[in-house]
Amino acid sequence: AQKITQTQPGMFVQEKEAVTLDCTYDTSDPSYGLFWYKQPSSGEMIFLIYQGSYDQQNATEGRYSLNFQKARKSANLVISASQLGDSAMYFCAMSFGGATNKLIFGTGTLLAVQP
């Protein structure tokens, strides 16, 4: 069965510093996608970054990068130069199911950026 694990319920980071949010996954499917979403207190799920299971290089989107270690089944999110607006819940998610896009989420990490 597919599973996503986020072991950090909450984290603090100082403004302008980098922070790493951990995510491990488990699947026997060879084809899958890994995603990170940000959910502010308003509730909207904001897509941040994506990594496909066959991608050789780590994905980057602005201040976000995904540290993909396939052998270790980890997909950690790195946020560089944290900003106060980065304070939110962060969910790691995995898509699986071949031709049908089923998405499962980890339990989330609540990030607080301190001035």
Partner 1 sequence: DTEVTQTPKHLVMGMTNKKSLKCEQHMGHRAMYWYKQKAKKPPELMFVYSYEKLSINESVPSRFSPECPNSSLLNLHLHALQPEDSALYLCASSQGEDVYNEQFFGPGTRLTVL
DSSP 69-88: ETTTTEEEEEE-S--GGG-E
d(CA 15, CA 92) in angstroms, rounded, equals 22
d(CA 69, CA 114) in angstroms, rounded, equals 29
25 counts as binding partner 1 under rule CB under 8 A: no
Task: Choose between 20 and 27: whose C-beta lies nearer to partner 1.
Answer: 27
98 counts as binding partner 1 under rule CB under 8 A: yes
- Inter-residue contact 35 to 92 (CB < 8 Å): yes
How far apart, in Å, do the first and last CA atoms of the chain sit? 41
d(CA 65, CA 76) in angstroms, rounded, equals 8
11 counts as binding partner 1 under rule CB under 8 A: no
Contact range with partner 1 by CB under 8 A, out of 13-21, 64-72, 75-83, 88-96? 88-96
Q: How many other β-carbons are positioned within 10 Å of the β-carbon of residue 97?
A: 13
Among residues 60, 107, 112, 114, the one that binds partner 1 under rule CB under 8 A: 107
24 counts as binding partner 1 under rule CB under 8 A: no
Total residues binding partner 1 (CB under 8 A): 28
Task: Choose between 70 and 102: whose C-beta lies nearer to partner 1.
Answer: 102
Task: Choose between 77 and 106: whose C-beta lies nearer to partner 1.
Answer: 106
Q: Which residues bind partner 1 (CB under 8 A)?
A: 31-33, 35, 37, 42-47, 50, 52, 91, 95-108
